[in-house]
Amino acid sequence: MIDLKEGVDLTADLRGRLERVQAEMRRQNVGGLVVYYRGQHNMLRMDQVFYLTDFRSLGQTVLLVPREGPARLIVTPAWDVERAREAAGVSDVRGVEPNDLVRTVVESARELPGPLALSGFEIMPVGTAAKFADALNAALPDGGKIIPSVAATRTPAELERIGHASAIADEGFRVLCETARVGMREYELAAEVEAAMQAAGAEDNFGLIAAGNHNVAIRPPSERRLEAGDVIIGEITPMYRGYLAQLCRTFILGEPTAVQKEKYDMLIAALQRGSAVAKPGIPSADIARAVNEVIGGAGYAEYCRQPYMRTRGHSLGLGAVVPNDLNEDTGPILETNMTMVIHPNQYLPETGYMMLGDTVVIEADGPRALTRSPIRLFWKSE
Amino acid sequence: MQTQHQVLKRGGLYWDRDLVPREVFDERFRAVQSALAASGDDAWLIYGDAQGYGDVAFVSHFLPRLRSVLILVVKDAPPTLLANVGLRDIPASKTLTWFEDLRPFSRLPQEAVKLVRERGLEKAKLGLVGTRQALPIAEWDAIGSALPGVTWNTRDEAFRKLRMQKDAAELAAIARAAEAAQTGLQTAAHVLRVGTTVRRASALVDKAMRLCAAEDIRILIASGPQCGIALRPPDDRRLEAGDAVMLFIAVEVQRHWAETAQTYVLGTPSPELRAIASKAAGAVDAMQNGLRPHTAVTLLAGAAEKALGDPALLQSARSYGFGHGIGLDQEEPPPIERTSFETVAASTAFALHVVVHRDGLGAASGRTVAVRGNGAEALTQASVLIELPDNTNGEV
């Protein structure tokens, strides 16, 4: 069983996050920030309410942040309010029914110092936005970048949780290798992996497991039964207390061919080259360039683009969004304590789609892998 | 009931054509075309996402597993579906729907505007379905400003009427989801044991339902002292002898949802727990007994409230609600509430639930029912209170 004891002072960690956000608000001359979250959790999107409260909502939620002093959390549905009060990041919590959310938020927002800004335009539904506009009698400016601008790197509490999520991902892949067998349906294999990770502490999972003798891309598990020789690709992404880690690996149900081994070795070299450049002060785009140099250099330059691959890695929401996708054309400068998955996942005409990737944290000397599954092609003969 | 949305629908994702045959969609699409013609619009745009995809799935069977979808229905022409997936995902996406024109997008406004222009609809009358509830305002502003010549009409109500009466395929699929939910309840009776954690027991319940080809699963649970407070997502609390456990399950199979709820106790229940569990189950029975086509929904809520009686129980039950329609959306209209002016459709399905808390105790009872003919048929079965062993020697 994975030991998931937490050793960091979460309350102090959350207080530090709020203080950094409030300093940024003062710098941008924002008196009060209204942070809207719809409750539609997404691996590639930051949950800004969660980041400041440690509360992962059921329904629509709004956090009201003054430029100094404590924040107020308004949650729906009302019956979930006690769970929100248990969260370490906020003490002023109110529960309301969904129909009362806008009215309650607008009344509370009047207590905030001005000028106000709103975060959440990119997720707020048309109908909710219309209610806010009517109630406020004004359109608020977009404050959606204030919190992400001070949340590019992970705090000690966040790193600890991402480490736990990584250990759970390793456990999930171990169970995949152990339980995969000919005749099993893809969704049955996914269920085994899911259950093992939930039992180990996972509360959610961006999990994709697919199989075939020539995969085009990763996809959700279907009703297809596993066959001898199948290449099983897994994007295993458990969440532990709001933080995701991702492990990408490839498993063959039978003996791999020489070509499969050779091409997978190329992906390993690409991962190693990409990891070697992932240091503080370096553009994140350099990771993608390094990966593509290896794969392109092996004669697959034309495959280093969609639809043969999507990206060479990415950050993982809910609490983290920087550096976003790892592509050659754009990206921030890497900083110590940024976390991301680096994955040279690739379609190749000889093998189909194969996957390899690890969650890493950027440290002074380079990236430290948080997922620990061996970096190799896995297989078993029945 | 409100549950916690997941980052991905990650269960078995495919189209079971025996359960939901292709011909079903011919009939539904003809109905949509007729409603479109009757509205006077030139075309309809139907929007959905992973949180609310019922309108989209009704006409296409497509399921957005993490992001959004937009469908364009034009008079006398095949429909087009824009899916927020990559180009490489299109082959797998096409296996989920009968639509032939399936296009990927990364930015909805650009692709939606391009599609409208491609069909020569820049100055047309376009109906909108599902946008108010789910389309982000930033995307709507971009679409609206790029198409100044379009006259927009909200058609949520017209589309709702199309879905109000469920066809045989939809009821069959809800029944399949109900079977998975029932499996979850039965599994819980085997795995809720002293010494195990709620998270570990929930993992086994979840797995049992995934093995029934569930696409998405939501579990809310309360145990021990939590039963006096509220349901919540599974946590790491370790079960103790004498604990009550309130379990609520929502499960999606082939795009269709079912819900159920049950109270368990690890040992012998106190008279007080037995009393409130009996009240909760009785209130659900009262709703089911009154559930017939054309019945006023307010009467169902009234029957539940009368069965509960006690003010404290009423207060908590009202907070959770007494239930709602269910099908391609986990929560469909009409909500069962005293203020409702709606009536029950002739062929439909409801999720009935009563969750109560009083004096540090709690109980949950719920079931999914199909309304057909002259009455309601329970698709899931729950007991008033299931007594489980209060030692660790049970089957885990």
Question: How far apart, in whole angstroms, are the C-alpha atoms of residue B323 and residue B284?
Answer: 9
Question: How far apart, in whole angstroms, are the C-alpha atoms of residue B213 and residue A114?
Answer: 52
Asked if the Cβ–Cβ distance from A198 to B316 is below 8 Å, we say no
Residues A374 and A277 in one domain: yes
Judging contacts by C-beta atoms under 8 Å, the chain A residues touching residue B356 are: none
Q: From the candidates A187, A215, A218, A233, which should be mutated to test the interface with B, based on the most B CB atoms within 10 A?
A: A187
Distance of CA A240 to the CA centre of its chain: 11
Residues B183 and B254 in one domain: yes
Q: Which of B214, B231, B221, B219 is nearest to B178 (CA)?
A: B214
Domain assignment present for residue A5? The answer is no
Number of domains, chain B: 2
Closest approach of A2 to chain B, Cα-based (Å)? 13
Tens of pLDDT, residue by residue over B38-52, are 999 999 999 999 999
Q: Which two tokens stand for residue A14?
A: 């959350």
Asked if the Cβ–Cβ distance from A206 to B50 is below 8 Å, we say no
Asked if the Cβ–Cβ distance from B132 to A125 is below 8 Å, we say yes
Q: Which two tokens stand for residue B41?
A: 């619009």
Residues B29 and B130 in one domain: yes
Q: Which of B179, B201, B358, B343 is nearest to B264 (CA)?
A: B201
Under the banding of pLDDT at 50, 70 and 90, the label for residue A36 is very high
Residues A128 and A164 in one domain: no
Under the banding of pLDDT at 50, 70 and 90, the label for residue A139 is confident
User: Do A22 and A53 contact (CB within 8 A), yes or no?
Assistant: no
Q: Which domain holds residue A368?
A: 156-379
Instruction: Kindly give the interhelix angle for B311-320 and B297-308, rounded to the nearest 10 degrees.
Output: 140
pLDDT recorded at residue A323: 79
Question: How far apart, in whole angstroms, are the C-alpha atoms of residue B293 and residue B285?
Answer: 17
User: Do B372 and B264 contact (CB within 8 A), yes or no?
Assistant: no
Residues A48 and A124 in one domain: yes
CB-side neighbour CA atoms (13 Å) of B38? 11
Residues A64 and A160 in one domain: no
Domain assignment present for residue B278? The answer is yes
Judge whether residue B381 has pLDDT over 90.
Answer: yes
Distance of CA B307 to the CA centre of its chain: 26
Judging contacts by C-beta atoms under 8 Å, the chain B residues touching residue A190 are: 10-12, 210
Residues A115 and A249 in one domain: no
Residues A222 and A96 in one domain: no
Residues B249 and B376 in one domain: yes
* Lowest-pLDDT choice from A20-34, A259-273, A344-358, B380-394: B380-394
For residue B320, give the chain A residue with the closest CA.
A79
Residues A199 and A344 in one domain: yes
Asked if the Cβ–Cβ distance from A207 to B134 is below 8 Å, we say no
What are the DSSP calls for B120-171, one per residue? T-TTSEEEEESHHHHSBHHHHHHHHHH-TTPEEEE-HHHHHHHHHS--HHHH
Asked if the Cβ–Cβ distance from A219 to B232 is below 8 Å, we say no
- Return the number of CB contacts < 8 Å for A and B: 173
Question: How far apart, in whole angstroms, are the C-alpha atoms of residue B313 and residue B302?
Answer: 14
Judge whether residue A102 has pLDDT over 50.
Answer: yes
DSSP reduced 3-state for B22: helix
Judge whether residue A320 has pLDDT over 70.
Answer: no
- Output the CA angle A189-A195-A196, nearest 5 degrees: 95
Other residues' Cβ atoms within 10 Å of the Cβ of residue B296: 14
Domain assignment present for residue A4? The answer is no
Domain assignment present for residue A3? The answer is no
- For chain A, give percent helix, strand, coil, nearest 5: 35, 20, 40
Residues 6+ apart with CB under 8 A from B84: B64, B67, B68, B69, B104, B105, B106, B108
pLDDT recorded at residue B156: 97
What is the rounded average pLDDT of the residues A121-135?
Answer: 92
Of A123, A150, A177, the one marking the end of a domain is A150
Tens of pLDDT, residue by residue over B114-150, are 999 999 999 999 999 999 999 999 999 999 999 999 9
Q: Which of B53, B35, B31 is nearest to B44 (CA)?
A: B35
pLDDT recorded at residue B292: 94
Residues B248 and B301 in one domain: yes
Domain assignment present for residue A2? The answer is no
Residues A224 and A126 in one domain: no
Residues 6+ apart with CB under 8 A from A104: A74, A94, A96
Q: From the candidates B94, B153, B207, B215, which should be mutated to test the interface with A, based on the most A CB atoms within 10 A?
A: B207
Q: Which domain holds residue B147?
A: 22-163
Among A42, A81, A220, beta carbon nearest to B13: A220
What is the rounded average pLDDT of the residues B266-275?
Answer: 97
Judging contacts by C-beta atoms under 8 Å, the chain A residues touching residue B4 are: 39, 41, 56-58
Sheet containing A238-240, strands listed edge to edge, beginning at the edge strand earlier in sequence: A204-205, A238-240, A243-244
What Å distances lie between residue A236 and A34, A185, A289, B278, B316, CA to CA?
Answer: 34, 18, 25, 43, 39
Question: How far apart, in whole angstroms, are the C-alpha atoms of residue B396 and residue B190?
Answer: 6
Judging contacts by C-beta atoms under 8 Å, the chain A residues touching residue B6 are: 41, 204-205
What is the rounded average pLDDT of the residues A47-66?
Answer: 97
Asked if the Cβ–Cβ distance from A217 to B140 is below 8 Å, we say no
Of B118, B141, B163, the one marking the end of a domain is B163
* Any A CB within 8 A of B318 CB: no
Residues 251 through 310 of chain B touching chain A, CB cutoff 8 Å: none
Closest approach of A150 to chain B, Cα-based (Å)? 23
Q: Which of A145, A107, A124 is nearest to A37 (CA)?
A: A124
Domain assignment present for residue B2? The answer is no
Residues A176 and A251 in one domain: yes
Under the banding of pLDDT at 50, 70 and 90, the label for residue A11 is very high
* Any A CB within 8 A of B12 CB: yes
User: Do B385 and B263 contact (CB within 8 A), yes or no?
Assistant: yes
Question: Which residues does residue B325 pair with via DSSP β-bridges, in sequence order?
Answer: B332, B350
What Å distances lie between residue B269 and A50, B67, B242, B278, B385, CA to CA?
Answer: 38, 45, 7, 12, 9
Mean pLDDT computed over every residue of chain A: 95
pTM given for the model: 0.96
Judge whether residue B393 has pLDDT over 70.
Answer: no
Question: How far apart, in whole angstroms, are the C-alpha atoms of residue A101 and residue A95?
Answer: 9
Residues 6+ apart with CB under 8 A from B373: B293
Domain assignment present for residue B6? The answer is no
Asked if the Cβ–Cβ distance from A204 to B7 is below 8 Å, we say yes
Question: How far apart, in whole angstroms, are the C-alpha atoms of residue B176 and residue B194?
Answer: 31
Residues A29 and A83 in one domain: yes
Of B118, B133, B163, the one marking the end of a domain is B163
Under the banding of pLDDT at 50, 70 and 90, the label for residue B66 is confident
Domain assignment present for residue B293? The answer is yes
Tens of pLDDT, residue by residue over B95-122, are 999 999 999 999 999 999 999 999 999 9
Question: How far apart, in whole angstroms, are the C-alpha atoms of residue A54 and residue A13?
Answer: 10
Tens of pLDDT, residue by residue over A70-83, are 999 999 999 999 99
Residues B178 and B91 in one domain: no
Of B163, B194, B210, the one marking the end of a domain is B163
Residues B157 and B187 in one domain: no
DSSP reduced 3-state for B251: strand
Domain assignment present for residue B16? The answer is no
Residues A164 and A50 in one domain: no
Query: How many residues can be counted in chain B?
Result: 396
Judge whether residue A1 has pLDDT over 60.
Answer: no
Under the banding of pLDDT at 50, 70 and 90, the label for residue A2 is low
Residues 75 through 114 of chain B touching chain A, CB cutoff 8 Å: 86-89, 91-92, 95
- ipTM of the complex, rounded to two decimals: 0.95
Tens of pLDDT, residue by residue over B341-353, are 999 999 999 999 9
Asked if the Cβ–Cβ distance from B210 to A195 is below 8 Å, we say yes
Question: How far apart, in whole angstroms, are the C-alpha atoms of residue A141 and residue A116?
Answer: 7
Residues B58 and B115 in one domain: yes
Judge whether residue B395 has pLDDT over 80.
Answer: no
Residues 6+ apart with CB under 8 A from A196: A171, A172, A174, A175, B203
What is the rounded average pLDDT of the residues A114-122?
Answer: 94
Number of domains, chain A: 2
* Any A CB within 8 A of B206 CB: yes
* Any A CB within 8 A of B396 CB: no
Judge whether residue B396 has pLDDT over 70.
Answer: no
Residues B140 and B189 in one domain: no
Residues B172 and B294 in one domain: yes
Question: How far apart, in whole angstroms, are the C-alpha atoms of residue B259 and residue B280?
Answer: 16
Question: How far apart, in whole angstroms, are the C-alpha atoms of residue A222 and residue A187?
Answer: 6
What is the rounded average pLDDT of the residues B291-301?
Answer: 96
Residues B185 and B231 in one domain: yes
Q: Which of A227, A151, A152 is nearest to A183 (CA)?
A: A227
For the domain that residue A23 is a member of, what is the CATH number? 3.40.350.10
Of A129, A150, A171, the one marking the end of a domain is A150
- Output the CA angle A60-A65-A69, nearest 5 degrees: 140
Domain assignment present for residue A217? The answer is yes
Of A133, A150, A167, the one marking the end of a domain is A150
Block residue for tokens 């013609």: B37
pLDDT recorded at residue A4: 67
Q: Which of A338, A369, A358 is nearest to A154 (CA)?
A: A338
For the domain that residue B100 is a member of, what is the CATH number? 3.40.350.10
Residues B149 and B244 in one domain: no
Judging contacts by C-beta atoms under 8 Å, the chain A residues touching residue B69 are: none
Residues B91 and B133 in one domain: yes
Asked if the Cβ–Cβ distance from B10 to A194 is below 8 Å, we say yes
What is the rounded average pLDDT of the residues B160-172?
Answer: 96
For the domain that residue A328 is a member of, what is the CATH number? 3.90.230.10
For the domain that residue B173 is a member of, what is the CATH number? 3.90.230.10
What Å distances lie between residue B97 and A67, A232, B89, B159, CA to CA?
Answer: 50, 25, 13, 20
Residues A344 and A370 in one domain: yes
Mean pLDDT computed over every residue of chain B: 96
Domain assignment present for residue A62? The answer is yes
Q: Which of B325, B303, B298 is nearest to B314 (CA)?
A: B303
